Structures are given as C-alpha cells and as structure tokens.
C-alpha cells in the first residue's frame, strides 16, 4: 500500500498498545492513533518512523479512532515534543462523543460503567478496589493516561464524512459497542477498513452498556459488513483478509453469551453477580470487564423480552 505505513504493536491483545498507522501526503504525515504512550512503545514508534525515513515533526494531523489510552496514550508526549519544537499547529480529528473523554479522561469511568461495581458487588471487592473503583488509576501501569489539552486544535469528524488523507479517501463510520463514539475508517477506493477495536485479529473487544454494549457492537458489525471490504487493518493484531469469517466469529462469540445466559436462567433465576461468575473466573476480570459485558447482554435480552428482572433476580421469560 503506497504512502501507508503500518506500525504494529508487540501483542495482538489488550493489555498492549494499539497499532499505529501513518499516511504520507503532500504536506507531511498523518497518524491514525498514536499508541499507548508507554516509553517502550513510544520509543519503538519513533524508531519505526526513522526506519521508514519519516520525521515525527512532519506530522500535521492525527486522527483518533476513540479515546482509549492504548490508542491515544502517546498524545501527551507528542504534543509536548511539538510544543518544544515550536510546532503547535497539529490538527486532531476525532468524533464528537469521543472528544469528551479525550479532553477529560476521567469520563472513561462512565463509558466503562464503573458504577456497576458498587451496585452489584455488595461485598467481595478486592482490597485494592475498595472505595471508589477508579479505572484511571488502574490503567496507569498499562498505558499513559493522556488527555488532550483544552486549547488543542480539534476538528470533529462525523458519520459518513469523507476524509481525504493523502491518496486515500476514508468514509467515517461511527461504530459503538466498545466505545460510544468508536470510529472505523473505510477507504472507499481501495476497499480496506481501519477497524479500530471493532474487529481485531483475535477475540472480541470488551463492551459495556454506556459504550453501546452487545446491541451496539452487533449493529456496528452489521454497518461495516455492508461495505465490500477486501482487507482490514485492525488496531490490535495483524491484517485480516478473511473478512466475512472474522466478522462471523465475532458475532457468534457475542450471540453465544446471550444463549449461555438464557440456558443458565432456564435452570433457575440468577443474580447479575452469579451470571458474571459463570463467565469470568478471576475477581479482576469480574470487575473489569466482566460485569459490564454481562450487564450489556442483560439489557439486550430484556429489550428483546426474553428475560425480566425482579428484586435483584433475573428470570427467563
Ligand atoms: Zn479501546
């Protein structure tokens, strides 16, 4: 792919940095996501640029798929380097919904539905999570928790916008489920998709009710599937060529949870915690992302009229 550079992270699954994409145009360079910002990865990112004979200070635009720290953790360092270099006209392209969290990273506690913890974990919260569970504190070891400064140069991108980035024309697709304003970029001429976390090389991304949940995730898969995609560059893992099979696998993985929940509820009513325990075995995975994923399935099944809740218990209808 001409004038397109794929800087792959070391590991295909979280916790790891997201991949970074670089596009060259007449004015310089464009980043799509910037990675997790941990020294190790940022060093690798800068080295890769040098290997490709690209200069960081030629970057004039950064498009962000969503405001999660593995995708935008390096923003703080990059903005600082640009400021020190007296180069401050960096343009940031982001969807309106994601902009809010990008400017105030504490808002991730909302889109990750952290308030489900005190709601459902009456007891049994690990010592380190007692009191307010603060996701930001927990993620600090995994990523740099950058947020964008209020005065940065943000341009809002919207559903169906066509972004001309160098020789490429990307259609902006808002694909919630994993993040409320999660954005995928579909190149309309060469028919490739930068899928963000919607479609990764392996597994599924986690999802939470306030980020779109299971329902949002499935609709987003349906949305991208309508395009004749020939190749996917995901944010985690290697490029994907077997598009339909991969989308099918993800969809099945999500739907299987619905089925398993209904199967358990057929035996007897359960609490949210009991259902979460069935799928997630460690206390950490129950707290994050287990409970948010299960809750999003319960909301979906409730809307479909397949279950009902009564007094803390969930019944199969
Ligand atoms: Zn993410």
Task: Sketch the domain layout of the chain as residue ranges.
Answer: 4-251, 264-316
What global pTM score does this model have?
0.95
Is residue 118 within 8 A of residue 77, CB to CB? The reply is: no
Q: Is the pLDDT of residue 125 over 70?
A: no
CA–centroid distance, residue 106 to ligand 1 (Å):
15
Q: 217: exposed, middle or buried (C-beta count within 10 Å: 0-12, 13-18, 19+)?
A: buried
Per-residue pLDDT tens for 71-113? Answer: 999 999 999 999 999 877 899 999 999 999 999 999 999 999 9
CA–centroid distance, residue 18 to ligand 1 (Å):
8
Q: How far apart are CA 148 and CA 90, in angstroms?
A: 12
Neighbours of ion ligand 1 (CB under 5 A): 68, 197
> Would you state the pLDDT for residue 178?
98
CA–centroid distance, residue 201 to ligand 1 (Å):
14
The three-state secondary structure class of 2 is coil
Mean pLDDT of 189-210: 97
CA-to-CA dists, residue 57 to 54, 71, 75, 86, angstroms: 9, 19, 14, 10
The H or E element containing residue 192 is strand 192-196
Per-residue pLDDT tens for 213-227? Answer: 999 999 999 999 999
Mean pLDDT of 238-249: 98
CA–centroid distance, residue 148 to ligand 1 (Å):
17
Q: How many CA atoms lie within 13 A of 11 on its CB side?
A: 9
CA–centroid distance, residue 40 to ligand 1 (Å):
19
> Would you state the pLDDT for residue 127?
61
CA–centroid distance, residue 111 to ligand 1 (Å):
11
Q: Is the pLDDT of residue 58 over 90?
A: yes
pLDDT class of 176 with cuts at 50, 70, 90: very high
CA–centroid distance, residue 73 to ligand 1 (Å):
11
Mean pLDDT of 23-28: 97
pLDDT class of 42 with cuts at 50, 70, 90: very high
For domain 264-316, which CATH number applies: 1.10.1740, 1.25.40, 1.10.10, 3.55.50?
A: 1.10.10
CA–centroid distance, residue 313 to ligand 1 (Å):
31
Per-residue pLDDT tens for 150-174? Answer: 999 999 999 999 999 999 999 999 9
> Would you state the pLDDT for residue 126?
60
| Buried b or exposed e, range 280-300, using 16+ CB within 10 angstroms | beeeeebbbbbbbbbbbbbeb
Q: Is the pLDDT of residue 313 over 80?
A: yes
Q: How many CB atoms sit inside 10 A of residue 275's CB? A: 22
CATH of domain 4-251: 3.60.15.10
Per-residue pLDDT tens for 258-308? Answer: 999 999 999 999 999 999 999 999 888 888 899 999 999 999 999 999 999
What is the chain's percent helix, strand, coil content, to nearest 5? 40, 20, 40
């Amino acid at each position: 792919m001409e004038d397109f550079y794929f800087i792959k992270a070391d590991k295909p699954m979280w916790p790891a940095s997201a991949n970074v994409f670089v596009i060259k145009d007449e004015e310089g360079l464009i980043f799509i996501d910037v990675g997790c910002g941990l020294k190790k990865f940022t060093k690798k990112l800068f080295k890769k640029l040098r290997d490709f004979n690209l200069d960081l200070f030629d970057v004039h635009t950064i498009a962000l798929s969503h405001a999660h720290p593995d995708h935008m953790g390096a923003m703080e360092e990059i903005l600082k380097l640009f400021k020190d270099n007296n180069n401050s006209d960096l343009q940031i392209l982001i969807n309106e919904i994601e902009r809010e969290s990008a400017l105030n990273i504490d808002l991730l506690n909302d889109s990750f539905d952290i308030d489900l913890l005190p709601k459902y974990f009456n007891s049994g919260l690990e010592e380190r999570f007692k009191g307010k569970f603060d996701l930001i504190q927990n993620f600090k070891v995994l990523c740099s928790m950058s947020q964008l400064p209020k005065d940065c140069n943000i341009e809002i991108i919207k559903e169906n916008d066509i972004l001309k980035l160098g020789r490429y024309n990307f259609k902006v697709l808002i694909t919630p489920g994993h993040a409320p304003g999660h954005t995928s970029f579909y190149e309309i001429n060469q028919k490739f998709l930068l899928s963000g976390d919607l479609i990764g090389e392996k597994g599924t991304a986690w999802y939470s009710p306030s980020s779109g949940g299971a329902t949002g995730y499935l609709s987003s898969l349906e949305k991208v599937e309508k395009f004749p995609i020939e190749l996917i560059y995901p944010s985690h893992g290697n490029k994907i060529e077997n598009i339909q099979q991969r989308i099918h696998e993800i969809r099945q993985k999500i739907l299987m949870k619905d089925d398993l929940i209904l199967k358990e509820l057929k035996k007897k009513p359960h609490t949210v915690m009991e259902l979460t325990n069935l799928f997630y075995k460690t206390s950490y995975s129950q707290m994050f992302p287990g409970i948010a994923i299960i809750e999003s399935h319960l909301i979906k099944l409730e809307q479909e009229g397949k279950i009902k809740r009564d007094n803390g218990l969930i019944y199969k209808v």
